Chains A and B, each alone.
Chain A
């Protein structure tokens, strides 16, 4: 992508587009007269306006309309929206419907977390943070782990998505969520298919954790990188927990812990507006969430700043453990190694795999539950719709859908806080910190640029929800400009992975 801008500015390095994530983003790194970093900006250059054009739509259409925010995590939007409809119509889904939803949701979480490890973020470790760009992608992962494993990953993904189609209509833009339940009961035959695949998913998750231990944890250089101050921020952490304060993706209370790990708040998700506010900056379309009580104190961490964090690392920090045995074992090992709370952003990769195992085990529990094939999967609402809030843990963090309607069930107001917005401020801080730490005296190479990108990639961000998740790296084009805007150096990362200096 061309990156030159017409307006005069300080010297800058532009990374546009940033790669191996969902959506469009851009990093502008401004240099002082010595060529050190003065400040780095993380910009999201897009906006589609779902909250506005949702107005006037039938509330029951929202699960399918809002899934189009994101074709990678459509199930998360679909589910948050469906839960908002339950609240809107004041209706409780029958037990089987509730379980089918959570089963499909965990199936989706297995697929999505695996996608990030093998295709998006994992290459930074499995292949190496400063490995040649051409290898630092899913193909490099295949080369490292072998074709047999790669085939296993493709087949696992296909089978998970086939199950989602069985129960939810389509894996991309599911249709099964309706107020008070699901559109379709789960047949015994289909439940059996879920059981078989869930067993395989548990094995697959254990295999993946083993791979992480072998490739990452056994490498002291990687462990040092994970632990390094460069990628560390001490912020608040938030996540859904069940009654035992274990991680849950589908339901529970929102728990927030302080940077020292102590519980700061535990509240029903429909009270989110008492705790969370949004801050806008003139240079990005994405808004930055913060906790109201500490308040917005700029891009700073610590207990005095309202910046908080969501997604795997934060969920494990906000919880006291995992609800399934194998995942809890993995959680204990994770905390035993890194302590708690874990402030190191790169530990997200490990935390994600702990969650992968939980999702697979939870799939198995739900598929084994005889009640899941009960044919009563709908409760027809009788109350007039007014207002509803639905919250789930998306793969990328806490996701809020909040609707108000008129008496005909037409949307009058929609407020959506997407997962990555919660992390936006911490991501922006992280990029700034890594850029300051690594770019010195105008010295830049591909490895440094990739380490700057690793500061956001660990979160598996979904920017502006125009998401695009695929293997490999995207074009990278960096200009070093003088004070008059003239190009001093141009760096290109090519298809062969080589860095060219023009």
Chain B
């Protein structure tokens, strides 16, 4: 019997789904190797069908998206019960992702902004005998592992085709890696960067430059050009796609496993190349980094030590 596999999404953009479709012809091999028992976006199985299954009867559940509603948490718990392995798929599930930037504000502030201070949609609404409900948003967005235990992680926003294919191969193989493994290389982005040779031995930045003010040279190390590139702090495996697009790494593959807090690591790697020890000069250098949280924690705020903006 073929192993059973489930796909599910939480708070995400659909890019992880597209990334699976982007396996192109290879998706046909995947479909042949496994029995997909749940994929709400593509197949007709329901929550009820999953509930009816024996615990542990699904080999692998791939879950993408951060968790921000009670429904998403409920579905994650259900899939955990039914699955022998759960994989946090993509940076939102692994680290909180871009939707996790909502932790810089509050649910009430979001509702106030979106509905311009007017009435906000009701969780329970009655009108002429019509009773309508909406799901509740959590005040804090969190990564999948705060909702359920997670066995493995596939990084990236979105994960690259190479990483996805390798992860599926590994998990369907005979020898599983240790629990908690991130299924991508344990190397920094810089190690696979096509511009690696132009990275100076000693790098000292006199001023960080923002994208609007600089035409990035297409051949040399982006960090050496004074543009904040997070390659030194970021796990490899993406295929250097942003670098090939002549733009800096923004850290979507997260940290290598030696690092607990990606943003802190990224901050250290950038701070360590500031070419001054004078505090006024350092301030000048840092003027080019106008939004440190958005730069260093763009994909990982909910999983960081900071987690969210303090509300008290």
Contacts and interface: CB of A to CB of B under 8 A. Distances in A.
A101 B197 CA distance: 30
A475 B158 contact: no
B294 A56 contact: yes
Contact of B22 (A2, A85, A172, A175): A172
Interface string B118-140: 11111011111111111101000
A242 interface: no
Contacts of A409: 210, 212, 290
Contacts of A172: 15, 18-19, 22, 158
Contacts of B84: none
Interface string A451-469: 0000000000000011111
Contacts of A49: 102, 105, 110, 113-114
A284 B121 contact: yes
Contacts of B44: 133-134, 472-476, 493-497
Given A474-B40, A493-B44, A280 B15 contact: no
Contacts of B42: 470-472, 474
A30 B130 contact: yes
A30 B131 CA distance: 9
B242 interface: yes
B244 interface: yes
Interface string A142-164: 00000000000011011001000
B46 interface: yes
A8 B19 contact: no
Interface stretch (A123-131, A177-185, A207-215, A250-258): A177-185
Contacts of B24: 154-155, 157-158
A414 to B, nearest CB: 9
B157 A475 contact: no
B218 interface: yes
A335 interface: no
Contacts of B132: 28, 41, 43, 283
A71 B134 contact: no
Given A51-B113, A497-B44, A60 B125 contact: no
A87 to B, nearest CB: 13
A280 B102 contact: no
Nearest to B38: A475
Given A53-B105, A68-B99, A284-B121, A58 B25 contact: no
A71 B211 contact: no
Contacts of A328: none
A61 B121 contact: no
Contacts of B104: 53, 56
A494 B22 CA distance: 27
A477 to B, nearest CB: 6
A284 B120 CA distance: 9
Given A61-B291, A72-B14, A474 B134 contact: no
A106 interface: no
Interface in B15-50: 15-19, 21-22, 24-25, 39-49
B179 interface: no
B102 A7 contact: no
A331 interface: no
A285 B121 contact: yes
A10 B130 contact: yes
A378 interface: yes
A469 B18 contact: yes
Interface in B137-151: 137
B270 to A, nearest CB: 15
B195 to A, nearest CB: 13
A57 B291 contact: yes
A92 B246 CA distance: 20
A171 B22 CA distance: 10
B300 interface: no
Interface string A360-397: 00000000000000000010110001000000000000
Interface stretch (B5-13, B229-237, B272-280): B5-13
Contact of B47 (A9, A22, A70, A475): A475
B37 to A, nearest CB: 9
Contacts of A385: 212
Contacts of B295: 58, 61
Nearest to B218: A184
Interface residues on A, range: 35 or more
B263 interface: no
Contacts of A71: 12-19, 158
Contact of A58 (B97, B158, B210): B210
Contact of A282 (B97, B102, B122): B122
B46 A178 contact: no
A39 B45 CA distance: 28
B247 interface: yes
Contacts of A494: 44
A433 B293 CA distance: 48
B178 interface: no
A469 B113 CA distance: 28
A174 interface: yes
A15 B236 CA distance: 43
A498 B94 CA distance: 37
Contact of A48 (B39, B45, B68, B290): B68
A420 B157 CA distance: 24
B17 A470 contact: yes
Contacts of B130: 9-10, 28, 30, 38-39, 41
Given A9-B129, A280-B119, A470-B21, A46 B69 contact: yes
Contacts of B25: 154-155, 158
A170 B242 contact: yes
Interface string A322-364: 0000000000000000000000000000000000000000000
B290 A466 contact: no
A31 to B, nearest CB: 11
A89 B212 contact: yes
B173 interface: no
A273 interface: no
Nearest to B135: A45
A52 B294 contact: no
Contacts of A85: 212
A474 B41 contact: yes
Contact of B211 (A60, A68, A184, A285): A60
B242 A466 contact: no
B215 interface: yes
A474 B7 CA distance: 12
B245 A175 contact: yes
Contacts of B105: 49, 52-53, 55
The 6 closest A-B pairs by CB, nearest first: A71-B15, A169-B245, A9-B131, A49-B110, A475-B46, A467-B14
Given A51-B113, A180-B212, A477-B46, 16 more contacts: A10-B131, A23-B14, A56-B294, A64-B250, A65-B298, A70-B15, A157-B24, A158-B25, A173-B158, A178-B211, A178-B247, A283-B127, A381-B213, A473-B44, A474-B41, A475-B47
9 contacts: A7-B126, A17-B40, A58-B290, A168-B245, A169-B241, A280-B121, A380-B214, A381-B213, A465-B13
Interface of B: 9, 11-19, 21-22, 24-25, 39-49, 68-69, 97-99, 101-102, 104-105, 109-111, 113-115, 118-122, 124-135, 137, 157-158, 210-216, 218, 241-242, 244-247, 250, 290-291, 293-295, 298
